[in-house]
Structure 1
Amino acid sequence: MSSQTQRPRAIFLDIDGTYADHGLAPEAHVDAVRTARKLGHRVFVCTGRPLSMVPGHILDAGFDGTITGAGARVEVGGEVLRDARFEPRLAARLVETLDAHGAAYILEAPEALHGRTGVDRRLREVLGPIFAGRPQHDGILSTDVDPLEDILGPMQYSDDLRATSYAKISCFDSPVPLTRLLADFGPGVGLIPSSLSALGDRAGEIFMAGTHKAVGIQVVEARLGLDRADIVAIGDSANDIEMLEYAAVGIAVEGGHPAVLAVADRITAPPAGNGVALAFRELGLLG
């Protein structure tokens, strides 16, 4: 344990279901981030959300940088080190395919979310019942953040999205299973299940193959001269698998995706149980 407390670590935190729940982070997590940084550790947001969906109140804790879009964009100290987008022709083809099958989707870019005119109504119909079923109070957390508005707030609408520049697609409702819909796109396009498991195979995240959170971590590692042996990652969802595998210490959140739990070195509690703060303490990051 003493060796863990004497050398600075670089910690990469997923947001949803890890650092925060229902869009809110417990005070213990905010305090843990601030304390660890005061002691010389570096702490980064590492989320599947695009920057346009990361609320200011999350970033207010103070972080050394952000990896957003599940590795597509990397920013450290105010400098953008990576901003990957789908190649324009492929981006347009994906949009055309989703539109042809009547899918409800959002194009995710750092500057905004993009949706077809009227998709907000579809999302309310599909997601409303799921979010309504969530508990109104979750331990020490309240639900002041409306999860639907969390998605719809940064949205920009258009009748034609084929020329839109974006890094990832969140599909919430497709009449055709997404694996079948994407079958002709080849290895350049990846798909992972939606974090909203109730949506089943008609939903998921469509991303640039080869882009994931560990790629973003490697960009930070190279810029700051980090030692991989000092990298810690905490997450709970399917898009956290590569991140936990890459880190020297990969920590999964209890109740997270089975594949994440399978690759983790440790398990910690969810946000309502102050899991990030507990993990920091166990690793000696809080002094």
Structure 2
Amino acid sequence: MADRRCVFIDFDGTFADQGVAPLEHAEAVARARANGHLILLSTGRPASIVAPEVAALFDGVISSAGGHVRVGDEVLHDERFPAALGRRAAEVLERHDVAFALEAPEALWCSSSASRRIRARMADPAPHAAAGIGNGPRDIVDAVRVPEDLGACSFAKISLWESRVPVEQLAAEIGPEIGALPNSITSEDTSSGELHLLTVDKADGLRRTVEHLGLDLAATVAIGDGLNDLGMLRAAGTGISIAGARDEVRDAALFEVPGPSEHGIVTAFERLGLL
């Protein structure tokens, strides 16, 4: 067996395709854990839209792109927008008539209008073709909640779509504490994106986990395909990118593997000697 590794795996586009992970990926994680390695999910999704059966595959889940860190049953970190900043963000987005969801570990907080738009956007008229773990768009739709006062909600990150204003401009209007990224779930157009606290990164989740477990950073592996994976790939002892990722992501990796449809996690684990 290889030296014990601690592996951090992105979800959308890396471990899963359209919210469904191939059974081969689940089996590879189970085998690697049985061999003594620690395997964690590290996703931009909030915990509220990670299916329980997906979370159960791992030793822990880093969600909200590093804002929420859980190892086993212990929550190590739970960072949210400060209340005043969160209310300002909601006000700016509503003023521009942007469809958005405030992402929290407990729910996706939305206006009634955004709730309807999410349900229309995530409509899945046919069952997913491949068997796997996770429920596709239903995991997102089932987490939607409509509160009485959206501005009072506690949340870690914002997803938005159908914006007539560039995501970077929205971030600038809200405040200098905010960063903007293309949306990791729905990245097909420039009107979609994510707004996040600049102080939060997947790399922070990796470091908190390693410190908690008493491991060396050299023993860590990060696998991802998106811009929100960059910090994690650079912080890890070994970075692995997914074929088709942007140049910045590929440059941060030691090597690349195929996407979920070609069972790239299995390939990565085989190359690392984890299986």
How does the TM-score come out when normalised to structure 2? 0.92
Could you tell me which residue of structure 1 aligns to residue 44 of structure 2?
48
1:106 is the counterpart of 2:95: no
CA distance in 1, matches of 2:110, 2:79: 20
Other-structure match for 1:266: 255
For residues 236 and 89 of structure 1, the distance between their equivalents in structure 2, rounded to whole angstroms, comes to: 33
The answer on 1:183 being equivalent to 2:172 is yes
**Which consecutive residues of structure 1, in runs of 5 or more, have no partner in the other structure?**
none
Amino acid at match of 1:197: S
**What is the percent sequence identity of the aligned residues?**
40
Q: Give the TM-score of the pair, scaled to structure 1.
A: 0.89
Residues 49, 69 of structure 1: 8 Å contact kept = yes
Please, which of 183, 190, 195 is the counterpart of residue 194 of structure 1?
183
**Long gaps (5+) in structure 2:** none
Return the alpha-carbon distance in structure 2 between the equivalents of residues 143 and 224 of structure 1.
Answer: 30
In the alignment, the residues of structure 2 paired with residue 176 and residue 25 of structure 1 have an alpha-carbon distance, to the nearest angstrom, of 33
Q: Do residues 8 (structure 1) and 4 (structure 2) align?
A: yes
Query: Which residue number corresponds to residue 226 of structure 2?
Result: 237
Q: How far off is 1:146 after superposition?
A: 6.3
Q: Which runs of 4+ in 1 moved over 6 A?
A: 143-146
How far apart, in 2, do the equivalents of 1:177 and 1:58 lie? 33
Partner-residue secondary structure (3-state), 1:199: coil
Check if 1:173 corresponds to 2:162. yes
Residue 87 (structure 1) aligned to one of 79, 82, 87: 82
Is structure 2 residue 151 aligned with structure 1 residue 162?
yes
Contact 1:213 1:239 in 2 (8 A): yes
Distance 2:64 2:29 in 1: 21
Residues 45-100 of structure 1: per-residue CA shift (max 9 Å, x gap): 11111110000221232x21110110000111201110000000000000011011
Shift of 1:198: 2.2
1:115-134 residue pairs with structure 2 within 5 A?
A: 115-126=110-121
Q: Which residue of structure 2 lines up, in the alignment, with residue 74 of structure 1?
A: 69
Secondary structure of the residue that 2:151 maps to in structure 1?
Answer: coil
Query: Would you say the 8 A contact 1:50–1:109 is kept in 2?
Result: yes
